[in-house]
Amino acid sequence: MLKKYFILSLLILFNPWFMAVSDAAEDASEQESVSAESSEKDQNAKTEDANLKEAEAFIKDLGSKAIHVLTAKKDNPAQQKKEFEEIFINHFAVKSIATFVLGRYRRTATTEEKKEFFELFKQSIADVYTERFKNYQDESFVVNHARPAGGKSNLIRVYSDIKKPNASPIEVEWKVFKDSDGEYRITDVIVEGLSMSTTQRSEYSSIIENHGGSLSGLNKVLKQRLAE
């Protein structure tokens, strides 16, 4: 009985100390958790900032090349289109864009029709952009800033201006992402609020509808345009 009372007395005596140790351990654990969370947030912020700067540099280099090709080689349209097509294939998410502009019609098209469209699309897009910029000359290209597109996507929006002498700058927004190889790809170019991809989708949908809802009809039109 005495032994029982002795143990109880020790527990009562040292209970505040045990509680203090327990509280201290809990506080330390919470501090470690907060510190780890803060460190992770800092690292994520640094990574995001680095990605934004990389995206800006990517567009600055690519945009300058594209504007140069589209505005400085007007005396040689064939070479102009060839060089821009190379830029498009190497730096744009071609398959993703082609899939987007096809919309619901990709579900009913045959494999051969889609394969043919993909090849025609790569050639046709050069015509689209050269037509869009054919009246531009003496322009300079300036990247302003970049920011995450938001949501669950890893898209980055890069904002830039094409500056013309004695005229208001032309606002150009680029949607880019980093692919599995760590290379940046462009999914859309928005010129003065007008999405090039959305514009293509609307035009192609109209052509397909006018040809009985068949992708082969669009392919025929694209081939005719390229032959002109």
- Residues with Cβ within 8 Å of residue 4, at least 6 apart in sequence: none
What are the C-alpha distances in Å from 99 to residues 117, 138, 189, 198? 10, 35, 16, 12
Secondary structure element (H or E) that encloses residue 185, with its range: strand 184-191
In a domain, 28, yes or no: no
Q: What is the pLDDT of residue 152?
A: 65
In a domain, 7, yes or no: no
Q: Do residues 71 and 130 touch, judged by C-beta distance below 8 A?
A: no
In a domain, 153, yes or no: yes
Of residues 186, 215, 145, 206, the one with CA closest to residue 62: 186
Q: What is the pLDDT of residue 39?
A: 58
In a domain, 12, yes or no: no
111 is written with which tokens? 């494999």
Q: What is the pLDDT of residue 10?
A: 44
Compute CA 112 distance to the chain's CA centroid, rounded to the nearest angstrom. Answer: 29
Q: What is the pLDDT of residue 202?
A: 96
Ramachandran angles phi, psi of 62, nearest 5°: -70, -45
- Edge to edge, the sheet with strand 156-163 lists 140-148, 156-163, 170-178, 184-191, 194-195
pTM, whole model, 2 decimals?
0.74
Domain range enclosing 63: 39-227
Query: Based on the structure, what is the number of domains in the chain?
Result: 1
Q: What's the 3-state SS for 150-167? A: CCCCCCEEEEEEEECCCC
Written as tens digits, the pLDDT of the chain (228 aa) is 545 444 444 444 555 555 555 565 666 666 666 555 555 555 566 778 899 999 999 999 998 888 778 777 667 777 887 888 888 889 999 889 999 999 999 999 999 999 999 999 988 887 777 777 666 666 788 999 999 988 767 899 999 998 888 889 989 999 999 998 899 999 999 999 999 999 999 999 999 999 999 999 999 999 999 888
In a domain, 56, yes or no: yes
Express the helix, strand and coil content of the chain in percent, nearest 5 each: 65, 15, 20
Q: Do residues 143 and 160 touch, judged by C-beta distance below 8 A?
A: yes
Q: What is the pLDDT of residue 40?
A: 56
Amino acid (1-letter code) at residue 87? I
Burial zone of 100 (CB within 10 Å; 0-12 exposed, 13-18 middle, 19+ buried):
middle
180 is written with which tokens? 């599995």
Kindly report the CATH number assigned to the domain that includes residue 56: 3.10.450.710
